Amino acid sequence: MPQPLTTFHLFSKYLRNFLEFAGLRSAGAAGLLFIAGLLQGIGLLMLIPLLGLTGFISTDAASNKIVTTLQGFFDSLGLNYSLTTVLFVFFLILTAEALFNRYRSILLNNLQLDFTDHLRNRLYRSIGHASWQFHSHHHSADSVHLLDEVVSDIGQGTFSTLQLFVIISHAIVYLLVSLQISPVMTVLMMMTGLLLYGLVMPINRRVFQHGQRAVDASRTLYRTMADFFAGLKLAKSYNRTENHIEEFITNTSKLRSEQKALMFSSASAQMWLRILTGALLCLFVYLALAVFSMGADRLILLIILANRLYQALSSGQNYWQYMLRMLPAYETYTRAAGEFDQHAEVLQSSGKTVPPLQNKITLQSVSFYYTDKQQAALDNISTSIPAKQTTAITGPSGAGKSTLADILMGILTPDEGKLFIDETELDAQLLPAWRQHVAYVPQEVYLFDGSIRSNLNWGCQENKKEEDLWAALEAAAAADFVRQLPDGLDSLVGERGVRLSGGERQRVELARAILIKPDVLILDEATSALDLENEQKIQEAISRLHGNLTIILIAHRSSTLKQADNVIELDNGKIQIKG
């Protein structure tokens, strides 16, 4: 169970992060809070002379410091101390306060939105920079949950935190004005306010705990939705849609129960605060009249101040609970961002480059482990892959073929051993530069919801000329079917390329790989899910590329192996046959 100290340290960490981001803008916001509070205090103090001038109460200038000070101020400006003049000054103060409050609201809202964007962009960058090995063990729905729900919760909590500071500034003004009226009653208000907060602390602890469970329930719900959409076609084929729907409803109910518990705790705290503050307000009126024999002018102002102070306490408690709900989300965010950063790969090659492949790729005693050192995905692999030839890597499922391909393309780093491009050893600093020489065609094609043109240009640093696009499509045996589409290159492919057949998607993917003019082309089971006609078209395209670049085929089918100049057979992470 989280202790209050843990909550305090978490809030301190969050506040430091926010202030580091806000910089000078936080000082500007503090200045606006101070000026607006000062104007509000002056406006409150002017209520006494206003009430006196209207005749509602009797004020003796000789015994009333506020009236005396105000008369002296008017005299110094050469103004008459009259109802008209006081009302005009009062109006000017209210106008100035409204202007400062407007700028304060704009600044605080901009701070909240900018900080939320900063957190989301920072996390997105960390996710993008994390190694592929880490992503392969991380549920993608968790990342979506972090970017969407968790960051949004932090943004709402930031709004509550900023509003809390506004309320604190107002409370300070009320107390300072109250000190001018009755120091004793002010001390009583402060003590009872602290007492009231102490009474609702147990509820606040429950709010934090419900917030933690709500974050976990929300994460589970995002995983449920991601799994459903990823397997929707399969779920329909097995008539399992209703099972997914029931799971979604169950997880939604769990999340909603935590949210309802949060609202119950918040409403309970608000109820007790309103009851107790109402009782205290009545007590103060009684003490002011029966014990301190307070005059009508000070009593009216004190009642206004006490009422505003307790309203501020109630609102502050509400915002404080919103902030407590946010802290578990912030804790989840910082922990996840730290994990992504911990597994970040080197993105800059520090000006280093990898020369184009001329002779061979060499693996020297390469081993790789996905989890622990008990079972190697690749075990002491030593081999070479000749340049400008076609090499097939084959073997049963789980033999290590895709792992070897990932190492060759530079998205995995060997745990043991070395990888050479000709005479250049590939280390972590050179991997980003090496990837610019490699193109990869996976079994599951990735096409986003856009045109064929935009999908082809996606892998390039710049948009290619139309003749280059058609040349790549010709090389991939895809030009004929693209020409037959109504909009040609500008035809939309749909989400994940659903408007194209499997063979068409595969050929567009191959054209995208060819377009970047790689030294090495890796095809990972690229034809395993295709019919014989489409497989033959892909094989013909690969044959036309033979001798122009280094081709690595991850394959099972004997028809694919026939295209290879060299074959490496893996089993249990070891080379069984090479020829």
CB atoms near residue 238 (< 10 Å): 10
Look at residue 560 in the predicted model and tell me its pLDDT: 63
Q: Which residues pair with 393 in a beta bridge?
A: 554, 568
566 DSSP assignment: E
Q: Which residues pair with 391 in a beta bridge?
A: 552, 566
Lowest mean pLDDT among 237-241, 311-315, 523-527, 554-558: 554-558
* Token digits of residue 53: 């001038």
**Looking at the predicted structure, is the pLDDT value of residue 220 above 70?**
yes
Helix 466-475, helix 502-515: angle, nearest 10? 120
**Looking at the predicted structure, is the pLDDT value of residue 3 above 60?**
no
Look at residue 340 in the predicted model and tell me its pLDDT: 92
Helix 151-181, helix 4-22: angle, nearest 10? 100
Region of residue 293 (phi > 0: left; psi between -120 and 50: alpha; otherwise: beta) = left
Q: How confident is the model at residue 449 (pLDDT cuts 50, 70, 90)?
A: confident
Rounded to an integer, the average pLDDT of 546-575 is 80
Q: How confident is the model at residue 125 (pLDDT cuts 50, 70, 90)?
A: very high
More confident residue, 354 or 146: 146
**Cα-based torsion angle of the residue sequence 85, 86, 88, 94 in order, rounded to the nearest 10 degrees:** 170
**Looking at the predicted structure, is the pLDDT value of residue 400 above 50?**
yes
CA distances from 381 to 368, 369, 403, 415 (A): 9, 13, 12, 12
E strand or H helix at 16: helix 4-22
- Distance CA(369)–CA(379), nearest Å, equals 9
414 DSSP assignment: -
Q: Which residue's structure tokens are 């089993």? A: 571
Rounded to an integer, the average pLDDT of 421-426 is 87
Rounded to an integer, the average pLDDT of 275-289 is 81
Lowest mean pLDDT among 52-56, 149-153, 253-257, 364-368: 52-56
**Looking at the predicted structure, is the pLDDT value of residue 60 above 70?**
no
More confident residue, 23 or 79: 23
- Distance CA(206)–CA(320), nearest Å, equals 13
**Looking at the predicted structure, is the pLDDT value of residue 62 above 50?**
no
| Cβ-based neighbours of 523, under 8 Å, separated by 6 or more | 441, 510, 542, 551, 552, 553, 554, 555
- The CA-based angle 341-343-347, given to 5 degrees, is 80
Sequence-separated contacts (24+) of 100-106 with Cβ below 8 Å = 100/32, 100/35, 100/36, 100/39, 101/36, 103/32, 104/29, 104/32, 104/33, 104/36, 104/166
Residue 335, Cβ density class (10 Å: 0-12 exposed, 13-18 middle, ≥19 buried): exposed
Closest CA to 516 of 456, 463, 460, 469: 460
Look at residue 286 in the predicted model and tell me its pLDDT: 82
SS (H, E, C) 259-284: HHHHHHHHHHHHHHHHHHHHHHHHHH
Closest CA to 122 of 317, 330, 291: 330
pLDDT in tens, 163-211: 888 888 888 887 887 787 778 878 887 887 777 777 777 777 777 878 8
